[in-house]
Amino acid sequence: MELLHAVATRRSIRHFTPDPVPVADIVAILEAGRFAPSGRNSQPWRFLVVRGDDPRRETLCAHTKYARILREAAFAVAVFLDREAAYDPVKDHQGIGACLQNMLLAAHALGLGAVWIGEIINQEPAVTRALGLDADRYALMAVVAAGHPARPGKSARRPLEELLLEPLHGDEA
């Protein structure tokens, strides 16, 4: 899939079929996240993959109002900030945002659907502890739920003109 087309057509998918996702596709999505840019190349993200009947799925579900999405998804990736790898709060969070976007685009390019669940961090660090991780070291940043789309996502985008703080000028093509 051509990159600009993927960026323009990716949508959050919140309904999934029960079909499993091959491990190779999950790895490809994680690899895309791994290659995101980060300040000082610190790569402060860490991934916890939850698939199938893993009891940690219900742990995640217990901490979000989007439990239905997590239960339908073939897998979820909890993305954490590793404080030992961190060096600057703003740059680390920006890098993890880039990591998440890479993962969402990779899922889309593979014909899968995914959604970035950010609301779950309202329960952080309780979620991190409930997953058996050290909440002093790891901070949950988001969960990506993914699988085969049961229906297309949809959302409208504002026209570029509404987002520009000043109009573009010039005769470049």
Domain limits at 81? 3-163
How large is the C-alpha radius of gyration of the chain?
A: 17
Looking at the structure of the chain, the number of domains it has is 1
Would 44 be classed as within a structural domain? yes
Would 72 be classed as within a structural domain? yes
Would 169 be classed as within a structural domain? no
Would 124 be classed as within a structural domain? yes
Would 171 be classed as within a structural domain? no
Asked whether the beta carbons of 69 and 127 are under 8 A apart, the reply is no
Would 139 be classed as within a structural domain? yes
Would 172 be classed as within a structural domain? no
Dig out the tokens for 22 from the structure: 């091959």
Would 103 be classed as within a structural domain? yes
pLDDT tens for the 173 residues of the chain, in order: 699 999 999 999 999 999 999 999 999 999 999 999 999 999 999 999 999 999 999 999 999 999 999 999 999 999 999 999 999 999 999 999 999 999 999 999 999 999 999 999 999 999 999 999 999 999 999 999 999 999 999 999 999 999 999 999 877 65
DSSP H helical ranges for 62-137: 67-72, 89-109, 126-130
The CATH number of residue 45's host domain is 3.40.109.10
